[in-house]
Structures are given as C-alpha cells and as structure tokens.
Structure 1
Amino acid sequence: MSTATQVPPLAVRVRDRLARRHPGAPIGELKVLPGGHSGLTYSVAAGDARYVVKAVPPGQRPVGRNDVLRQARVLRALAGSPVPVPGVVAVDATQPAWFAMDFAVGEAVEPVLDEADVPVATARARMLEIATVLRRLHATDIHTPGFDAPEPLDATGELERWSRTLHAVPAELRPGGEELLARLAHDVPAGRSPVLLHGDFRLGNVLCAGERAVAVVDWEIWSVGDPRIDLGWFLLFTDHRNFPQVGHAVHGLPSEAELLAVYLDGRPPLPAMDWFRALGRLKMAAIMGHNLRRHREGKHHDPDQERLPPTIAAMIRTARDILG
C-alpha cells in the first residue's frame, strides 16, 4: 500500500459523499491505514461512524490489485451471507475510483509472522474458527447476482502463473525450484467444481474480536476456482518452521490435519491435497523471491527482504518433501 499523504481531490469527493450520508455531522480527515499492500487505504470518521476508504492511486490504472470496484463488488455480493465482511456504504466509479466500507473493529494477526502478542490459546481458537469461515466462503453460490464471476482458476492455470513468477527470480535464490516445478507439472490433479476463492485466506486477513471472526478483509485477488487453492495456502501458516529467520516460534497452533478436519466437517477428504500444499509453498517462494529481487534491483528498498533466502529455500525443499 502506498503511504502517500492525503490526496486532496479524493478527500473532497469522500467528504461530499459522507456528508450526504451523515447530514450535519463533522467529517474527519483521511488518515492512511498502514498494513495494506495495494491501492490507497484510509480511515475516516463521519460523526460517530468510522469508515475505511480504498482508492485507486492517482495516475495508475484500475486493474489487478488496484481494481477497487472489483473488491467492492464481492463485498456487496457477500453482504448478509454467512461470510462476515465489512458493509459497503459508498462506491464512486469516477476515476480514480474509490469505495467506503464500515470500519470493522478487530485485530488481524498472523501468529507465525506478526509481532503482536496474542495468547496461543486465542490464536489457536481463531484458526479453528476461520477454518469454518473458509468452509462457508467456499459454499457461497458463485452464480448469485452481483458476483459477475471471472473465469475459474484451475490447478494447471495456477501452476503456469506461479511458474512464470518463480522463473523471474534469479536461479541462485530458488535452489531446487526447477525440480519442484517439474514434479508439480508431472502430476496435475483433476479439477473440482469452482467455488468463491479469497486468494490470500489466512488469519492475517481476518479481523477477529477475541476468538470470533468479525470480518474477512483484503479481497484484492478474489476469484473462483478449485477450493484446494485456498486451502493449500491457508494451511501453510500453521507452523513457524515453514518460515526460518522470518517466523516466530509459536507452539500449540492447530495442525494442518486439524484445520482440514474442521473445514471438511465430516465430508470425505479432498483428493490430492499434498499437491496443493506443495503449490502453496511454491507460491510463497515465488512471492518472496520476487520481493527480494525488487529490493536488490532498487525498485523497492527494504533491507528486511534480505532475511528471506532461508525461507525461500525451505519452501521449495518442504514442497518437494510433501510430494514424496
């Protein structure tokens, strides 16, 4: 997310819309919200109400992660569903587009990666809770009016996409990567009926109050496709040992098997889950390698990225181990 200061034209547009929603109430300044990874994200007060505003950065095209109208669309489609999401209160399609949603009160903490001090028992309960949220998300009718669902993602398409990303990473940063790609390509599983996918489903993207899930946030890369794509990614965050030199030691979180059992809720096991667990690790290795390469090329200065090589190597190594 850009940490740019308030953009005056955007502030004028937001204040005008919220003033109509809250006649006579004072409208506060836009304040940058830290922690996001795309677009511009602000908080703003309107009387006693608080909202989050997501906007397309000026001068950038409203595509991919910057397509805030697409994010608003899925949030509106999920309103009132068993999946907790913030309510959308305003959408302005005039470019640069923006939308405002309710400010959901809660914390989004990834136990194995974030510094925040959350009791292990609470983190464990939250992970089990959001496994049920993921089940409900995947049970959503993707033909519901308003979704305008894109073409479904399948295992082949996901593998091709992340293969390209990994190949853009210097070879010395992805030891064993070619072998992993070859093994994944050798045995691509048959597809499942497409479901609604969050794309980055994990505890760090679910606001929680105590042990209760309040709102699933960060819908920048939602899609429809094979449910095992979301699952393979979600399960990756159960063990700090997956993230050497990056993760924090947390003992007592649910195992992958426990989370899968909660998600399945008595239904038969999903076939080929090991392939998707390995795919999740490939994706993480590719993302981290991409971020480290951008840092080293001077495109996004962040010395903390230099801690990533051991985790990238571990992701590839354990993915190969999972595949036998």
Structure 2
Amino acid sequence: MPVPVQRDHERTRLALADWLTARTPRADEVRVGPVRVPGAAGFSGEILLCDAEWTEDGTERREPLAVRVAPTGHRIHPDDRWTEQVRLLEALNRTDVPVAPLLGHEPGSSVLGAPFLVMRRIEGRVPADFPSYHREGWLAELPEHRRRAVWCGGVEMLAAVHRLDPRALGLGFLDRPEYGSGHLTQQLTEYTRLMPYYGADGNEAATTALAWLRENRPEEPGRPRLLWGDARLGNIVYDGETPAAVLDWEMAALGRPESDLAWFLHLDRHLSEGIGADRLTGLPDRAETVRHYERLTGHVVRDLEYYEVFAAFRFCVLTARVTRLLEESGIMPPGTDFPLHRNATRLLARVLEETVARRGGAAVPR
C-alpha cells in the first residue's frame, strides 16, 4: 500500500536528472525516464522508481534506480532518524548482507522537498502483505519445497545481520541512551511516552501488554547485536528463492537478536492466523525456524515468548498509527471498516494470553 502521491512526477524526473548530472562528472547529461511508484510500497516513506541513462567515455550506460524520499507529511514514526539510516546503509554496503548499493544521497530539501537517497534497483519479487502471501501471489503458487527455500532464505538473512559486529561497523549511533540503558528499556520507555502519538493510548490490549512487558522484562546479557527492526519476508527481494536484497532499515536498533526473530515470526502469524488465512504448507513452523536460526548463528534463543509479546505489542501500536494516517490522507474515509488494526489488536490479546498461560497463569497487570 503506497503512500499518497505527494509530488508531480514530471518535475521530479527533471529534478533528479539535474541532480544526477551534477554528480556524474564524466557524463554530458543524465536522462531519467518516467518516475513511478511501486504498487507494493510501504506507508512509511516515498519510493520512486526510474531508469537513468547517460553516455560515459563513448559508452552508453543505463542504471535502474530506486529513490527513497524521507517521509514528511505521512510519517509513522515521530523521528525518522534519516541521517542514521543513511549511515547504516553506507556501513551495510561494506558487509555480506545483501542490500541495494547506495549510489548517493541528498541531505537537503531543495531538490525533492525532503532528503532522499538513490540506490541501484534490485530486480526480483517480494512476498506481498496486501493481499497476504498466504492467500495468493507467487509464493503461494510455488511447490512446497520451494516455499520452504524462500522461508529459510529469510531466516538466513536474519542470521547474516546478527553475525555482524556493530562495534566494528561503527554503529553506536543506533543506541538511544536518552531513553535509558538497553534496547528493551529504551523501546518500552519510548513507546510509553508516544502511545498518544501512535493513537494507541486508548487501546486496552496495548496498554495491558505494555504493563506486562515492563513487569516481566528479561535481562539483556552479552553485547548487543544489530537489529534489522522490520525483519519479515515482505522486506526481502528474491531472485527465484534466493534473497537478493534486504529492505527497510528505519526500525534498526541495537539489542538482542530474539527481538528480530520474534518480529519475523509474528508478522508471518499476523498474515495467516491474524487475518483468518490458512498458513501456507511447506513453510517451517516456529520450532523448526528457531532450530534453523540457532544452527546458522550458534546463538541459543532465550526469552522468545517475551519478545513475541513485544513484537505483537509494537505491531498493534504501529497499525493504530497507520490507520490514522490512512484516514487523514483520505485513502480510507473515516468509519471505513479497515481491519488491519483490529486484527493486530486481537492477535496481541491472544499472544499475551497464551504466554501468560504457559508461564503458569501469572497475573496480567491492568
């Protein structure tokens, strides 16, 4: 579901051509083709697709581009931390985690009205959220053994991210000490303060889960790892069944890898059980996924149930914000029955109830 069109595409095309020409000194002129918005883009920022062509040393060159523009009017998070996202992508371009090569970025707003970055577009297919890949689309059409390969490839991307050394890559800027010490403390403090912004302060399931999360917070032993943040199949470009690029780092942080693994599992659960769809056969279940992840990383997964509640809570809160943005943008008129947040809320209540029951029925704070 793309963000609403926020610009004139012809003016954008010409502005990008001028910008690229100024940054391609060996080219007389860079020509940019029609600008388009991908149909499966997210709601947290503009993605613009185009092709650039130029002549360099007598040779015709062509580059497929993806331009990501910092969110302005339609923003899920109050702070997009844009500069940090650019620095993270620059660091990831030096690793074995497959990300789209960063070709340049513009920190100011004079060209497109907001900062933006330009990446080489990676061709491939992405499992869709709308409609869920469990219901239709290329993943559902694959035979079971190939679906399994797609899923395992996603887990391998998680492992590749978590094997990175944040200190060696200079990623300390992802820490949020203004919210306390440790990823969980920082996230819980931030969400507590921002519940009204997200529009979730009146959601009983969310406020109940937040109280439980604060009361049952586990230790965070060992050095923090890089967290992808929005770790899910829908943020991976596949070449066949092989991951070709990992997308969307706006939720990146430092913390325990269980946070990413739980989000990966929960988003898949939301797109199946959470919306009343049968989960695709052939996809490894939770237990097998954890075993595969542990084999890949050598990390023994602990406190996963807690992090699954944490994932369900965050997704519920974020869908409250998405629903509000859809209404404010006019994409969804007020009063429209849009089930995203309702489904996320229902699944959060279920996940919390299951976790409490497995832990012996400990009281849920009210």
Alignment-derived partner of residue 212 in structure 1: 242
Aligned to 1:256: 286
Counterpart selection for 1:45 from 41, 46, 51: 51
The alignment status of 1:188 with 2:193, answered yes or no, reads: no
2:20 to 1, 8, 18: 18
Q: Which one of 119, 132, 142 corresponds to residue 101 of structure 1?
A: 119
TM-score scaled by structure 1? 0.84
How far has the Cα of 1:66 moved from its partner? 4.7
* Maintained 8 Å contact 1:6/1:30: no
Aligned residue number for residue 122 of structure 1: 146
1:252-311 CA-to-partner distances (Å, cap 9, x unmatched) read: 311122222222117352221111011111112222234345556x56542352464244
Per-residue deviation, 1:180 = 3.0
1:30 corresponds to which of 7, 30, 35: 35
Task: Give the aligned partner of residue 166 of structure 2.
Answer: 142
Which one-letter code corresponds to 1:139 in the other structure? Answer: R
Tell me the distance in 2 between the aligned counterparts of 1:106 and 1:278: 32
Which letter maps to 1:3? V
2:346 counterpart of 1:313: yes
Partner residue, 1:279 = 310
Across the aligned residues of Structure 1 and Structure 2, the Cα RMSD in angstroms comes to 3.1
Find the residue that maps to 2:174 and give its secondary structure: coil
Cα offset for 1:16? Answer: 2.2
Identity %: 22
Q: Helix, strand or coil for the counterpart of 1:29?
A: coil
* TM-score with structure 2 setting the length: 0.75
Q: Where does residue 113 of structure 1 map in the other structure?
A: 132
Cross-structure match for 2:300: 269
Which amino acid is the alignment partner of residue 352 of structure 2?
A
User: Structure 2: which 5+ runs fail to align?
Assistant: 54-61, 177-181, 358-366
Moved more, 16-25 or 189-198: 16-25
Runs (5+) with no aligned partner, structure 1:
none
Match of 1:4 among 3, 6, 9: 6
Equivalent residues of 2:101, 2:120 under 8 A apart: yes
Question: Which structure's CA Rg is the greater one?
Answer: 2
